[in-house]
Amino acid sequence: MLLFRKRPEMPAPSEVLPGRPNPLPTAERHFVNGNPLKGPYPEGVETIVLGLGCFWGAERKFWELPQGVHVTAVGYAGGTTPNPTYEEVCSGLTGHNEVVLVAYDPAVLPLEAVLKTFFESHNPTQGYRQGNDVGTQYRSGIYTGSEAQAATARAVRDSYAQALDARGYGPITTEIVPLETFYFAEEYHQQYLAKNPGGYCGLGGTGVSCTVGVGVAAE
């Protein structure tokens, strides 16, 4: 995805693009399961926002989970520019990350299981890149909606860090911060690989299992 645009550092405040006051148009419903992309979500469903590289392949990892995911959507978070476009995010001048919103039922799919998929689906030790995709928009990130989510994320991260260290990987660079705003990406990005099965996916994990949570089996 726009591999020719590479920025290895966050923008200075004077460089940040101004954005726009109104949200970008996006899809109304999930292309795969038909659920409303922006809700309202059923009672009991929670959301978390995750950055793990190119959001086309990242989103597919979660809608393909066998149960417990109500809807997924791709967008932008973690930066400053309001209502950014994809091109603006790829310029590196918004501070935003390419992210996936996962709306899940914790009674069916505990957060630990969502985070197991997150950590196993990418290399969380690479800083501002995933594989050949280089830039601040490809950083590993967990954007939480509550302190309870943040505590769970930190516990899973710390457990997985030990497993990675045992296999010779460096420290985890995943940022775990409160979500300020999730901006839905443009319609054509939503469920992109369902619409374009042969489309680009540069996502790759480490092959190290993340063993967490009651009933969450290691591979």
Instruction: Give me the active site residues, please.
Output: 54
Q: Using CA atoms, how far apart are residues 155 and 131, in angstroms rounded to an integer?
A: 25
How do strand 97-104 and strand 46-52 relate by DSSP bridges? Answer: antiparallel
Helix intervals (H) in the chain? 55-63, 86-90, 111-120, 147-166, 192-195
Amino acid at 68: G
Which of 165, 153, 166 is closest to 212 using CA atoms?
153
Give CA–CA dist 57/192, Å, rounded. 8
